[in-house]
């Protein structure tokens, strides 16, 4: 879908972003913005509703399963199993089946366990269906988003309070990242799509639609809010200039536009947690992906569903996150904070943030957010944190699977 640049569309896109600029981090605002962008998409494509196309058995493409290659290496399997502490006969909810690495580990570790395996991506769902055939009566595959999960669970007979353990391994799988056609990766050239379930919701805006429809301020707000990109203004301006010449449709095209907006020395000046150079467009790609898939609202919805369906006094939640926006959201949820209010900060965090703001103009950023790792209060009225400190992968694990470098694991028991 291409968004035409007529007055109505631009007007809507402009007003949507005025709201986002006022309070870019608020989930409620994001939701309102998102609904308007959906409306935009609907207007462009006639008035057809944006509901999902009927779920069907998805053929797992050869690119997803070719040979015996590992589709996705599951992160912190041992720590996940310890946190979930699954017992024989229990029902486990894997909310992010992906290539099924964690589900398979659970099936191997515990007898008579039942796993409900959700994924919004039809390719992952196809893999879950295959696994269900290999383990009759032990795996229940579900296609859908976190925000659609509660009624799906109830329909399967797993109503509120019936699940013993839930795993949420947020973000994208390697299957998604490694497929050039899906447009998630800045190192592989492909169409800038980035929708995890574009096959189900073909009228939902893709990354190309977003990049070519929003005005400069709106784009800058998006990059700042969802990528925590400090050079958002410069990058948004470069995108606007480039698309006047030609629409932005390919991943490498976007990567070069972002690179071109920075001095050459800044191209790989950023470092990831393993101190490896990371491309200057990484945060731009993250921001677009998070926005296109409405990932933060979805994560919040997922945590709420887990809370509803876990059994009281002992149900366990394990959440793996991969960037600070996700981790902050999980941490605040487990503390029982109101997520529409600004985050509570200690005086140390406030001082650090003020210092960072002052340095912003002058220096290249330290790539990783220095979030407080401490769970602090140890939980809220609804949850008891399993550990005081957040867990991260061991050095040995990272040597084998560098993609897990920014993983953070938080686990809690429902009161
Ligand atoms: C990091 S991967 C999970 C990998 C998996 N644990 C494994 O071992 O293979 C994240 C998966 O979650 C799915 N996902 C992301 N957001 C989702 C949402 N809102 N609802 C359902 N699935 C989602 C993605 O499609 C992706 O397959």
Fill in the DSSP letter of residue 183.
T
The pLDDT score that the predictor gives to residue 52 is 62
**pLDDT of 20 strictly over 80:** no
Number of H helices and number of E strands within the chain? 17, 7
The pLDDT score that the predictor gives to residue 241 is 98
Q: How many CB atoms lie within 10 A of CB 59?
A: 10
Contacts of 69 (CB under 8 A, 6+ apart): none
What are the C-alpha distances in Å from 358 to residues 146, 200, 280, 353, 365? 38, 45, 21, 9, 12
What is the rounded average pLDDT of the residues 252-258?
A: 97
pLDDT band at 379 (very low <50, low <70, confident <90, very high): low
Task: Report the separation in Å between the CA atom of 97 and the middle of ligand 1, taken as the mean of its atom positions.
Answer: 6
Q: How many CB atoms lie within 10 A of CB 364?
A: 15
Interval 330-360: pLDDT, tens: 999 999 998 877 766 667 766 776 676 665 5
Task: Report the separation in Å between the CA atom of 130 and the middle of ligand 1, taken as the mean of its atom positions.
Answer: 17
**By three-state DSSP, how is residue 55 classified?**
coil
Closest CA to 145 of 120, 117, 164, 113: 120
Q: What ligand 1 atom has the least distance to the C-alpha of 97?
A: 5
The pLDDT score that the predictor gives to residue 153 is 98
What is the rounded average pLDDT of the residues 115-143?
A: 98
Q: What is the DSSP string of 282-343?
A: HHHHHHHHHHHTTHHHHHHHHHHHHHHHBPTTT-EEEEEESSHHHHHHHHHHHTT--TTSPP
Q: Which fold has domain 77-175+295-338+371-414?
A: Rossmann fold (3.40.50)
Closest CA to 113 of 86, 140, 131: 86
> pLDDT averaged over the chain?
83
Q: What is the DSSP string of 217-257?
A: HHHHHHHHHHH--TTHHHHHHHHHHHHHHS---BHHHHHHH
pLDDT higher for 238 or 35? 238
Contacts of 295 (CB under 8 A, 6+ apart): 170, 171, 289, 326
Task: Report the separation in Å between the CA atom of 351 and the middle of ligand 1, taken as the mean of its atom positions.
Answer: 36
Strands, sheet with 114-119, edge to edge from the N-terminal-most edge strand: 139-143, 114-119, 91-94, 165-169, 316-321, 408-414, 383-385
Pocket test for ligand 1, best of 120, 142, 300, 393 (most atoms within 8 A of CB): 120
Measuring from atom 1 of ligand 1, which residue has the nearest CA? 173
The pLDDT score that the predictor gives to residue 373 is 52
Measuring from atom 20 of ligand 1, which residue has the nearest CA? 145
Q: What ligand 1 atom has the least distance to the C-alpha of 74?
A: 8
Retrieve residue 405's tokens: 């470098």
Retrieve residue 142's tokens: 């579900």
What is the rounded average pLDDT of the residues 385-390?
A: 94
Domain boundaries along the sequence of the chain: 17-51+198-292, 77-175+295-338+371-414
Alpha helices in 85-183 (DSSP H): 101-109, 122-134, 146-156, 174-178
Closest CA to 124 of 88, 155, 94: 94
Of all residues in the chain, the percent with pLDDT exceeding 90 is 68
Q: What ligand 1 atom has the least distance to the C-alpha of 320?
A: 1
Provide residues with CB under 6 Å of ligand 1.
Answer: 72, 74, 96, 98-102, 118-121, 124, 145-146, 169, 171-173, 196, 298
Fill in the DSSP letter of residue 52.
P
3-state helix, strand, coil in the chain (%, to 5): 45, 10, 40
What are the C-alpha distances in Å from 126 to residues 77, 97, 331? 22, 10, 32
- The CATH H-level superfamily of 17-51+198-292 is Putative methyltransferase TM0872, insert domain (1.10.150.170)
Task: Report the separation in Å between the CA atom of 343 and the middle of ligand 1, taken as the mean of its atom positions.
Answer: 26
Pocket test for ligand 1, best of 30, 58, 119 (most atoms within 8 A of CB): 119
Q: Give dist(CA 153, CA 140) in Å, integer.
A: 10
Task: Report the separation in Å between the CA atom of 125 and the middle of ligand 1, taken as the mean of its atom positions.
Answer: 10
Pocket test for ligand 1, best of 173, 175, 304 (most atoms within 8 A of CB): 173
Kindly report the pTM of this predicted structure: 0.84
């Amino acid at each position: 879908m291409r968004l035409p640049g007529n007055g109505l569309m631009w007007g809507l896109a402009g007003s949507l972003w005025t709201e986002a600029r006022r309070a870019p981090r608020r989930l409620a605002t994001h939701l309102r913005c998102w609904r308007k962008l959906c409306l935009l998409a609907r207007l462009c494509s006639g008035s057809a509703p944006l509901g999902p196309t009927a779920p069907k058995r998805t053929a797992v493409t050869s690119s997803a399963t070719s040979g015996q290659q590992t589709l996705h290496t599951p992160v912190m399997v041992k720590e996940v199993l310890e946190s979930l502490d699954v017992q024989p006969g229990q029902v486990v909810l894997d909310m992010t089946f992906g290539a099924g690495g964690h589900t398979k580990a659970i099936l191997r570790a515990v007898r008579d366990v039942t796993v409900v395996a959700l994924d919004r991506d039809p390719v992952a769902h196809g893999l879950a269906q295959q696994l269900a055939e290999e383990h009759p009566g032990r795996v229940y595959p579900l296609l859908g988003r976190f925000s659609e999960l509660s009624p799906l669970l109830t329909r399967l007979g797993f109503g509120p309070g019936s699940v013993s353990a839930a795993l949420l391994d947020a973000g994208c799988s390697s299957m998604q990242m490694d497929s050039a056609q899906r447009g998630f990766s800045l190192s592989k050239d492909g169409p800038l799509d980035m929708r995890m379930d574009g096959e189900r919701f073909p009228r939902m805006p893709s990354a190309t639609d977003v990049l070519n429809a929003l005005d400069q301020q709106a784009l800058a707000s998006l990059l700042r809010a969802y990528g925590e990109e400090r050079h958002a203004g410069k990058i948004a301006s470069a995108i606007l200039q480039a698309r006047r010449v030609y629409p932005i449709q390919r991943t490498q095209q976007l990567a070069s536009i972002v690179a071109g907006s920075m001095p050459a020395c800044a191209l790989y000046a950023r470092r990831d947690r393993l101190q490896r150079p990371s491309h200057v467009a990484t945060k731009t790609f993250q921001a677009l992906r998070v926005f296109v898939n409405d990932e933060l609202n979805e994560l919040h919805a997922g945590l709420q569903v887990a809370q509803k369906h876990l059994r009281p006094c002992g149900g366990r939640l394990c959440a793996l996150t991969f960037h600070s926006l996700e981790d902050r959201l999980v941490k605040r949820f487990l503390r029982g904070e109101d997520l529409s209010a600004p985050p509570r900060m200690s005086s140390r965090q406030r001082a650090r943030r003020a210092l960072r703001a002052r340095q912003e103009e002058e220096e290249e950023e330290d790539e990783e957010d220095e979030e407080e790792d401490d769970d602090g209060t140890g939980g809220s009225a609804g949850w008891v944190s399993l550990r005081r400190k957040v867990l991260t992968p061991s050095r040995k694990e990272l040597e084998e699977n560098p993609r897990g470098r920014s993983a953070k694991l938080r686990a809690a028991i429902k009161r």
